[in-house]
Structure 1
């Protein structure tokens, strides 16, 4: 059913605060348009015609990478964020159904913002033009988070049928309805823990395993209500009920997507920034994003991936700005990141580690172009909070700004003569990941290097020794040991002595198995699947890594909430006895796997 067109603005906020004459003027200057199912209304980067209000149908909004941001229905509006930023779309809108839309012209929309304070407050409250009032779980309504039309079944549906519905729909729960009302919810976990584990007959009705009369929320509730209920009662799904009728469902995945949309917003803004100063204003909001993502219960690797995505876009934008400043590059180039950005593991504390690969045949005159070019990008990254690398592992260093053939010689030399410096350099460079430029310059280089390195037993032995240089903070009796002196006295370095030992192990496993993954957790999972490490040792190590990395992120988020700069130095005294015990156990696992690597029996650990 579509909205009654003549009265559409009379009850939609903030139009309802206007006089009837003003609303009629808006309708006279606006246009009703019909959009067919599957048609794109606008794409990211398009010039926006105006603000759209949905009269009927459904519209999906995705970010620049195609990730879903929201699903909008009748009475929702969209396009305002782009109109607040030079009328350029920062998202893509597509009709999921046949739609009838009211388009308020861009000029009229902007005049309404300047003429009516209610409009300014309503539309500017969460857009990029007002970062201090960005939306979060305390302001977003459940109706904006929920998935509409949740899958349902009746109480007498068999568990076999329910399982098939969930499998085919790639969903994790079914709402159980009877006589038009919600009577329960059944999840994949229910089927596993209550049906499979208890060996119930396949024709057993879901009513015997469902959660009866589940906790629900109305569409008018806010996101933090969802989060708090989920955390308090350990829920993964919350049905949304209005006037006794099931209208939607919110899952933990929906919360994650909402939080990710903030990252997507920063990505979209960074992609169109006009200067390094503009980029610095955007990246200054990353600490707040980290706090939100951690508070929403996101796993550490999801958080660091989102934060790294922003760094990638910032880097690419600086490369484009450098090309605008210095002119088209005289030769093909590829900017690569190593370190935490290369592994997609950036947190609230990250320096820059990068390099340049140039095409072979680049002349000395051409090389003169790339020195100020690299300096511009590196200076911009520093201004954005990605501080200069203390070890000068940056593209501004002539050593790391070389033609492809030189880079190949570098790797060959490090592998053939694995000195201590060569081991260190190889460790860093095994985490190289292309960021911007011509990626063909990196084709096969990583795979060829892994193959050559894995085939040199002397090199791999030296690399294994190098991987053990970072010790866990365990004493003789396997108790936690802290830094004894200096400004970080009585703390544990959760990066150097916590995360890095696992990073080193993951890199060694990737080398042993010639695994292409760069991300540490992905390397551990790949090593486990490939049999490089045993089932028990690998599973324990992944759990240990997750606990240490999550503890590190939570520590940084806590510092940010206190108004302090994030760091990696965690005072164990601030943890509960339970947390300290688990942290110690995690370090024991890591140390055990280090010992296994040293003894050459990683697959048996």
Structure 2
């Protein structure tokens, strides 16, 4: 398949870590890529082959298998594979074949090694992702605290076995911790009920204390996943209580280990891509919180975690588009579904609403518009079922205002730029984060570049956008304290979205506007702004470090809530942090406030 340098460049700008490379480095790298068109079932490489390059899926699907011929992952568009082989003397440690007719971009081993040796972002990415490595190795680095159920179900020793059985049935669990005077005295499993009660014909009012296990093997929450696995294998048990001091803090089961090993972004993407119904997809997306826990526990940086989670939302959207077309028939004219907000920036976390729009070909007629209204409803309703709730501000393709031909969109942007009233500033801020998800991407290319050029040249519009971006301020109080929320259900917490990451997101958007930069991702924008001279090297370093700390703190908070059996949110209580953590988080907010002040006083170019 012939691909132009411009097509490859646009594609790589949507793929990490290439999107974080300096413009000149990316331009030099693009000619090194070799497009491969392969048919279904084509063996890309076999186990033990000498690899001569790393692969990126431009189009289609690839299946990767390990040395036991077990499927490790199903890879789709933008996924890389083969890099671990190149990092191990060039010998393939997996095999790969095309699940469908596919187009691959191949970066030869020489340029690949130079890329990894030259740029930290590439070295860190390929060292961390290891997409063709069996996932079970992560148990050797994962704390039990991440794996265990944090609120184990208990019963008293004098409870009857019938009561215990009913409790297990009603709670959908396979074991109970037996507690007396707040101390763990025994453990009961379904196997005990079947083997010691049912098989021996004991009465249903037999006390639990007669059949429970008493000599218990326990582990502390500082143990790692492999400790649990080894203990289970050695002692032939399927449940291990987790005890800190004399206090029961959790339970780990074989099911917990299996679930942890099974959850990966590639696995979820593969299941969604082949889901038959919206309900099937919703069951998959319900596992995103556990994926969040696993990714953070594995030491992945926030930009890797949010990108992988966003990939799942992208796949859900494309699957829903395919379902809509299967129901409604082929689209009457070309269209493009775009995401904005956190999905557009590839920065989704464990809690996200949907922000999207439709750009239609200018040939669309009024008689054809109902087709796209129906398509938008099918997709938007499906996203809501899958956990991406409706946008409170109705920034969705179901709103006729955001389902329009290219010419209308061009007029929208022209009017917002010419008359930057508050609504125009808000809408422009949202729409500058647009990213194509499914459909004809050519509908967006000229629209984006033309809008950026016109907007950057209108000093009044830029000034209004700067003013609008400074409305979200870091939560800094007097005397080195935090300004927490004063009332309501989130009282005494920090809003790590609107007062945490959003101020940096807004700054990065302004820098991108000033430099006519097409990147949507916040980190990529900051790096590009430094490369374009919009942001000084020292300003870029400080802001990137501050953003990383704020974003990591937000993810850590969401993970803590998931592990506690709660829904992830953005409201962090400073009292949950150590003095050290509070001090560094406040320093990060000070950096953001300083950059905001510089921008507000016309010093944004120097940062």
TM-score (norm 2): 0.63
- The CA deviation string for residues 552-585 of structure 1, in whole angstroms up to 9 with x for no partner, is 0111011111111000000010000000000000
Give the one of 543, 568, 571 matched to 1:569: 571
Question: What is aligned with 1:225?
Answer: 140
Structure 1 stretch displaced more, 478-487 or 395-404 = 478-487
Question: What is aligned with 2:338?
Answer: 336
Unaligned 5+ residue runs, structure 2? 1-35, 92-108, 121-133, 144-259
Distance apart, 1:226 and its partner CA: 5.0
SS at match of 1:355: strand
Question: What is aligned with 1:295?
Answer: 297
Pair 168,561 (structure 1): closer, same or farther in 2 beyond 3 Å: closer
Question: What is aligned with 1:208?
Answer: none
Question: What is aligned with 2:277?
Answer: 275
Distance apart, 1:604 and its partner CA: 2.9
Q: Distance in 1 between matches of 2:49 and 2:524?
A: 40
Distance apart, 1:223 and its partner CA: 3.5
Question: What is aligned with 2:69?
Answer: 77
Pair 57,338 (structure 1): closer, same or farther in 2 beyond 3 Å: closer
**Alpha carbons 1:334, 1:357 under 8 Å: kept:** yes
Question: What is aligned with 1:495?
Answer: 497
- The CA deviation string for residues 363-404 of structure 1, in whole angstroms up to 9 with x for no partner, is 111001111111010000000000000000000000001111
Distance apart, 1:476 and its partner CA: 3.2
Unaligned 5+ residue runs, structure 1? 1-39, 83-88, 97-143, 152-164, 174-187, 190-218, 229-257
Question: What is aligned with 1:241?
Answer: none
Question: What is aligned with 1:252?
Answer: none
**Bigger RCO of structures 1 and 2 (CA < 8 A, at least 6 apart):** 2
Pair 485,64 (structure 1): closer, same or farther in 2 beyond 3 Å: same
**Alpha carbons 1:166, 1:172 under 8 Å: kept:** no
Q: Distance in 2 between matches of 1:90 and 1:376?
A: 23
Pairwise CA RMSD of aligned residues? Answer: 4.0
Matched, 1:312 2:314: yes
Q: Distance in 1 between matches of 2:385 and 2:112?
A: 49
Matched, 1:560 2:475: no
Distance apart, 1:323 and its partner CA: 0.3
Pair 68,571 (structure 1): closer, same or farther in 2 beyond 3 Å: farther
What does 1:107-186 align with in structure 2 at a 5 Å threshold?
Answer: 148-149=88-89, 169=113
Pair 449,487 (structure 1): closer, same or farther in 2 beyond 3 Å: same
SS at match of 1:352: coil
Aligned length, in residue pairs: 423
Question: What is aligned with 1:212?
Answer: none
Q: Distance in 1 between matches of 2:528 and 2:386?
A: 34
Pair 146,77 (structure 1): closer, same or farther in 2 beyond 3 Å: farther
Pair 454,499 (structure 1): closer, same or farther in 2 beyond 3 Å: same
**Alpha carbons 1:90, 1:269 under 8 Å: kept:** no
Question: What is aligned with 2:367?
Answer: 365
SS at match of 1:334: strand
Question: What is aligned with 1:475?
Answer: 477
SS at match of 2:605: helix
Q: Distance in 1 between matches of 2:73 and 2:362?
A: 44
SS at match of 2:565: coil
**Alpha carbons 2:65, 2:73 under 8 Å: kept:** no
Q: Distance in 1 between matches of 2:606 and 2:531?
A: 14
Distance apart, 1:266 and its partner CA: 1.3
Distance apart, 1:150 and its partner CA: 8.9
Pair 147,516 (structure 1): closer, same or farther in 2 beyond 3 Å: closer
Q: Distance in 2 between matches of 1:482 and 1:468?
A: 18
Question: What is aligned with 2:405?
Answer: 403
Question: What is aligned with 2:544?
Answer: 542
Q: Distance in 1 between matches of 2:73 and 2:581?
A: 42
Pair 420,169 (structure 1): closer, same or farther in 2 beyond 3 Å: closer
